[in-house]
Every structure is written in structure tokens, then in C-alpha cells.
Chain A
Amino acid sequence: MSDQLTRIKRMVATLNAADVRRICTALAGGLVLALMTGPDGSITSPLYGAQQSFLTAHVIGYLIFGAVLAFLMTFRAKTKDGTWRRVRTEPRKTFVQTLAASRNVMRKTALSLTALVSIGVALIFADISGPPAPHKISWHEIFHQFLFTRTYGYLLLVLALWFAIANQLFQLSDKRLTSLPRPVLIVGGLVVTLFLALCADPFLPARFSLDAISPASKHSMFHHWTTYFWLVLGVAIILPWVFKRRPTITRRPPRPMATLRSSPSMRFLTYVIAGFVVLEAPKYLSQYWQITLYQQIGVFCLLAIGLNIVVGFAGLLDLGYVAFYAIGAYTTAYFSGSLPVQPPFHLNPFLTIPCAIIVAMMAGVLLGLPTLRLRGDYLAIVTLGFGEIIYVLANDWVRLTGGSIGTGLVANFSIHFLGINYVWNEANPLSYYYLLIAILLPAIFLFDFLNHSRVGRSWAAIREDEVAAASLGINALKYKVMAFAMGASTAGAAGVFTAVKVGTLFPNSFVLQLSITILVLVIFGGMGSIVGVLCGAIILQWLPSYLNFHAYLGFQQSDLYLYIGALLVVMMIFRPQGMIPSRRRMREFHDAEEGLGSADPLGSINQESPS
């Protein structure tokens, strides 16, 4: 006991001024959090909120949080520089590495156990996603699932995942899938895709029958659009993968986890699983979450990947991004005749998508051409002003936009074509969602492709050092305007989806706060990384809808922007590259801190800016 005490005393004695500052920061952070989650005050009793936050039991939990944070931060710093513990000379082996190195019994047990667990997981998935009748998960029910088609889809997915991981970790076979002959790969890939399409088809009878795969049958899967969607997705994934150039250089010695992450089979699987989640999972949500998924998450994913081009790829700070969103939405309203100004001809909302994209793009070019020559921080303020102008126009130019009382009703998406008559309606939010996905997925692939093309490399060059890029013959203005216009057109498309779903547009839906929110999605997720941005958008947009129901630990929806502001500052101090950063962006931030390059065309602080 006394031994422990002396040890702790010795540890405390090593604390220096920096540690004390760190501890104070963490405790103060806890206090600020207590204030942020405390009750609201009012103008007549301005101290009420602080009083209730600091002088009641409310503060205790947050102080404990601050103390734990302080301990963790100190512990990390102290073990990192070796004060509290000897620095390890050779890296410790992880559990997985030990397992992978072991032979025989251990290995076989691990393999068979994980395989069994995988099958169980597949069955449970199949059971959960089964008919919505509420029932308990019982063994009987689970084995019953073998009668249904979708079970086989889940089994295929999970077992393939298991095989991919096990193969990387345990080297089950040294043959790579890509070394098979190409025709075999293509045919195999198509068969797997069709099989997944069969399993994922929501309209088919759930029970397994041959009817589903014979094109002649009335219940055939070939009569449903989801099949073709899966086919397109499959082809889009298979082709580049099959025709990938095979590496000729010798590989580095394999690091199991790293190779796992970069192996093509894993990437393929990730795509398939993501596709499954994106297309299948929404069907089992309640209507509230389906609407949230479309309006809060889907549309904002589209907006976020659009802004990611401007901020993440080209490194330009655009604070008026919502203006283009508004332009897209009001264009839709204009062409469906719901503004006070009547259009020359009415258009189906499907046709207004390209119109909105073009109009928003033109606005982007018109704003971009003069202003993108400016210094980065001037650009920020000009775009901010542009956002305000668009808002003021929407709010006050009553004769054009209907003003603050809103526009008339915007027409809904509808198909009247070749005998098909289908009108999208409120009762089925998922119909909008799938339509959005049909725009979002191509956009994601297009932007990813662009980022890895000549254009993307030019953006990166401009972002890292505009002068050097210009000296290599890159027309910086052209590429910046291009990024701006692409971002704008994406926002325009998002505007159409919002306009059609919401029905009536109000200027208050296009305020500056929204621009900042979208910027936060991009920064939180990780500038320049599409996956990161999507994750950021999903998490941060899901959160407020969740807080709408549960004031968990005092977090409430009305204080959302308070949390967002604090999050921005904290992220910029501790993790400026975002949650899932792109590797290149991370290196840029790191280089900038070392004094190499400037990470963005805004220029480093200490650098003399050209005037």
C-alpha cells in the first residue's frame, strides 16, 4: 500500500508546468461542457443557466469527465516521452500477429470458430431483416431462415468477408483472385452480382423459388429496377478491378492488417456491404427515420461531397455554399410554376435536375471568375456576402420569389412514360431516397475518379503551392473555377431534391448557418476524403435528429450550433485533418506544421502575402 503511495508520489513529482496546464485545460473543458449542457437562462435571469450548471449536482459528472480526460492526456504525454514508463525498444506483437504466426491447433480452432461465428452472424442478419413481424430471435426461427433467398445473400457476404480476412491473416492460399483468367473473373463477378440482386430485391416473394430467376415469370427479378441497379453497380466495381494493372515490382514484407485494408477483395467486399446497407437497411426503419435519412442525411451527403470538392480538393474556403443550394431549389420552383413569375414552359422535376445543375453551375462560374483571383481569405468573405445576397433576394424580392411567406407548392417527381404512371408521394419516403441514391452514387464515383485524375492532381498542386503549380503550366484560375462550378452544381442538384420533397420553399431554410453546417460536415469527416466526408455527414446529421427525441445528458437540439462551434475549435486544435482524413491532406497539415509548404492557397501565417 505504502509502496503504491510512494510510486504515485514519484509520478506526481514528475509533473511540470506543461502538464499542469494540460490538466487545467481538461478540467476547464469539463466545466465548459457542463455549461453547454446545463439549462437555458433568459434575459431577465441571465445567471440562471450558469448557476444551475455549476452549483448543482449537474457539474459533478462533467468534472469527473474532465478529471478522466486530464489523466488520460497526462498519461499519454508522460508515457510518450518515457517519464512514467520505460520506452519499449522492440514493438509489441499484437494478439492477431501472435495468432497468425502460430501453427496447427490454435490456427485451426481460430479458423473454424470464426467461420461458425460468421455463419451465425449471417443468420441473425437474415432474421433481423426478415418480415417485419415482431418476434424473438430463437434458434428455430434462425434455422427457418434457410428457406428464404436473402439468407443466402447474407451468407455469401459474410463468408466472403471471413475468407478475405482469414486469407490475409493466415495466408490460406497464395493464389490471388486477380490472377485467375479474366473471362472467369468477369463471368464469376456477374453471377455473384446477379445473385446479390436476387437476394436484395425487395419486391420479390421472400421465399426461395425458381420463379424469381426465370425471365419469363411474372415474379421475375428482371422486371425490377433494383436488379439493374445492382448490375450496374457490380459492373462498375468489377471492370476496373479486373483490368487493374498487375503489380510487377516486388512487394514489401506483408503487414497483415495493412494489406487487409488495401487488398482488392476487401475493397470489393466493402463496396458490396456498403451497397447492401444503403439499399436494404432503410426498409426496416420507421417512417420518421426514413424521412430523416432522405432529408437530413442523404441530401446533406450530396451537399457535403460537393463542398468537399471546393474545400477539400481545391482548398478554397466557400462560406456561401448554401446560395447554390437555394438557387437549385428556386430553379425547381420556377420551372414547376410555383413562383409568382411564371416560366415560359413547365418542366417535370426530373428535367429540372439538369436545369438546376446548369443554373447553379453558371452562378458558380459567374461568382468564381472574378473572385477566385483573390486571396483565399478574401474569397471566404466574398462568398459569405454572396450567400447573404441570395438570402436577401429570396426573402425580400417578393415579386420574384414569394418572399418570406414562401413559394407555392412545387410539383413532385413523376413518371408518365411508356405506359408507366408513377407519382412520388409523401407516404413513401423511400421512393425519394432511392432516387437520391441514384444521383449520389454516380456523383461519389465521379468525384473520386476526378480526384485521382489529372484534374485532381492539379487541384492538389494548386492547394499545396499555387505559385509552383502555375510555374508548371497549370492554369490555376481555370481549375479553381472548375472546382467551384462542380461544387455549385452538386448543391444545385441537392436543391432540387429538397424543393420537391419539402414542397414549399422558405428563405429561412437557406441561411448562413446551413453553409457553416455543411462546412462542419466536411471538416469533421476529413477534408479531401470522400469516405470521411460521408461518414461525417451521416454522423453529424443523424445526431440532431436523435437529440430531437432524447435530451441525453442535457444535450438538446436547440444548442446544436453551440456544440458545433466548440467542436470546430477543438478539432482545429487537436485534429485539424478530420476524423477519417485523406492521406495526402494529413501529410500536408503535418508538413505545414514543420514549415514546409502551406497546405492551402491561403498561405502560411508567417509568410509575406503578395499585395
Chain B
Amino acid sequence: MFNYLIQGIFAGLIFSLLALGYTLVYGVLRLINFAHSEVLMTGGFAGYFYLHYTIGQHLVTGNVGETLFYIVTGVLISGVAGTIVAVAIERFAYRPLRRRNAPKLAYLISAIGASYFLLNLAGKEFGRYPTATSQPFDNHVVVTLWGGQITMYDFVILAASLVLLVTIDWIVSRTKMGRAIRAVAQDVETASLMGVNVNRTIASTFALGGFMGGVAGFFVAINQGVAYDMGFKPALFAFTAAVLGGIGNVRGAMIGGVVLGIVMFTPIYWLGQPWLEEIIAFSVLVLILLFRPTGLLGERLGRTA
């Protein structure tokens, strides 16, 4: 059982990273960024190509400095790739609509279109078969706790995501950029009257979310390999996590991810059928929306994030 719990926690950390993208964009624009799954996919492919052309076939073992270097640079490269794609999505699929004050349905459909376009472009250019990624470290079991095995990979995720989550919390609540994001989330018109550049703030929101999404993609890539449709399911779960934590709420997204991971994976120990995890996740989504639509920590639309 502890094994499933650990699996849930670390899958949940990835959902948290991804959920941040949803929750930030939802807070500012009040819409689900359906194309966010492709940010994860791009980050994954960026990480794949980086590791493929640097490490290639040889196995990195034992050398802590080397491993650390690959992980840090890989995270940065994937994050930057995710940022670029997220900002491009905002620029080409959302901004033309925003200029025209289009109805919300148009945004959703445009986002679905962008997602499909990117997904299939990746499929066309990189082939439609899943591929394993070169490993920057030896993924062995480090600690065994009550029968639950914690691997090297889990430690890497834990460290990286903790750093990132703390950073983003700091950015949103302490920096000037974060203040601008919160101002736009609260009231677009007043914020622009107060001298906030709305377009740039929205772009920076997408950029922040995109960076996290790209990093999540990197971790999915080293664990499960890359495929052109790798973003779809994690993105669905991440959205569920964002709703679970309270959409628009940055800390809610972090906690929601981990809680969802635990809720999804732990019951598999008793049920024994791994395919039930999706059904559990969506049932959780429906139940939250029915009984507590504001999520665990409450929606923070327009209030201090």
C-alpha cells in the first residue's frame, strides 16, 4: 500500500507543476487553457533531444556532479521550451480573440484547435511512436519505507518540484510581476488604468505556467519516454488537481496535485485494477464540482493568490 501511496505522491507532484499553468491562466483570463497539455509535450521533447544529443547511449552512473548538471540544464531547457510554446499559444490562439472581445466558447475551441495542431505537428515531425529517453542518472531504489520503494527519480522530482513550487509562490506573492498578475486577475480594466501592461502581464502568466509545464514534461519524459500525445492524460489530471485545490489558487494547485495523486493511486492497492485510476480521478472531479466547486482551499479569483 505504501508503494501506491508513494507513487501517488510523486505523480501528484508532476500534476502540481502542470496544474499551476491551468490555475494561473484561469485566474487571469477565466478560461481553461486546453492547449496546456502541448506545453508538457514540448517540454518533454526538448528534454528528450537535449539528453539524446548530450548523453546519448552511455549511462551516467555514480558521478553526482554530472547528473546534477544534466538535470539542472535539462530542466532549464525544457522549461524555456515550454515557456516559448505557451507564449506562442497565447500570442496566436488567444490574443487575436481577445482583441475582438470574442465569446468564451471561441477561446475554448481555439485552444482545442491549437492543442490539436501542436500535437499532430509533433507527431508529423517526430514520428508517432513512443520513444524512451536517455537517463541522466541511474534510477535505483534508494530507500525502502514500510515496503514502499523510493527511487532516485522520486528524489529528483521531489527536490526540483519543491524548489520550483517555492519559487513560483514567491514570484506570485512577492515580486512586481506577481503583483501585476494579481492585479489583472482582480480587475483587468482597473489594472490597465493603474498602468499595468495587460498584454504583457497575460503573456508573463502564460510564460510562468509554461515553464512549469515544460519542467513537468521533462520529468515525464525521463520516466516514461516521449510520445506526441504524452500530454493529454497528465493534463486532464492536472486540471482536476487545479479544480480540487481551488482554481485560481496557486497554493491550492500545489496541494491539489499531491492530494489527487494520493487519491488516485492508493485505492488501486485494494481494487487491484490499474485502469480504475482514471475513473477514480474523474469521479473525484465530478464529486468536487458537485459538492465543493470552490475546491479544497477555495477559489481565489481576483483575491490575493
Contacts and interface: CB of A to CB of B under 8 A. Distances in A.
Nearest to A50: B125
B154 interface: no
Contacts of A392: 275, 278-279
Interface string B101-119: 1111111111011111111
A605 interface: yes
Interface string A38-52: 001111001001100
Given A370-B290, A567-B113, A561 B236 contact: no
A377 B104 contact: yes
A435 interface: no
Contacts of B102: 572, 576, 589, 592-593, 605
A228 B107 CA distance: 47
A565 B113 contact: yes
Contacts of B282: 382, 385-386, 388-389
Nearest to B273: A396
A565 B34 CA distance: 12
Contacts of A611: 294, 299, 301
A605 B104 contact: yes
Given A41-B127, A392-B278, A523-B109, A374 B101 contact: no
Contact of A600 (B92, B105, B278): B105
Contacts of B302: 608
A567 B124 CA distance: 17
A183 B289 CA distance: 59
Contacts of A605: 29-31, 98, 101-102, 104, 107
B99 to A, nearest CB: 10
Contact of B110 (A43, A389, A512, A568): A568
Nearest to B299: A611
A502 interface: no
Nearest to A47: B125
A545 interface: no
B142 interface: no
Contacts of B100: 593
Contact of B126 (A46, A389, A570, A589): A46
A608 B299 CA distance: 13
B32 interface: yes
A89 interface: no
Given A566-B117, A604-B104, A49 B243 contact: no
A319 B279 CA distance: 17
Given A562-B120, A565-B114, A573 B101 contact: no
Interface in A569-584: 569-573, 576
Contacts of B273: 396
B230 interface: no
A43 B124 CA distance: 10
Closest 7 CB pairs of A and B: A568-B113, A565-B116, A565-B117, A385-B282, A602-B104, A599-B103, A562-B120
23 contacts: A35-B121, A43-B129, A317-B105, A374-B293, A381-B239, A385-B240, A385-B281, A385-B285, A392-B279, A565-B116, A568-B113, A569-B113, A572-B106, A572-B107, A572-B110, A573-B97, A576-B102, A589-B106, A594-B101, A598-B104, A599-B105, A600-B105, A605-B98
Given A41-B127, A593-B101, A602-B105, 14 more contacts: A41-B126, A42-B127, A43-B127, A43-B131, A317-B105, A377-B104, A380-B108, A385-B286, A512-B232, A561-B120, A564-B116, A576-B102, A588-B103, A589-B103
Interface of A: 35-36, 40-43, 46, 49-50, 315, 317, 319, 370-371, 374, 376-378, 380-382, 384-386, 388-389, 392-393, 395-396, 512, 516, 519, 523, 558-559, 561-562, 564-573, 576, 588-589, 592-595, 598-600, 602-606, 608-609, 611
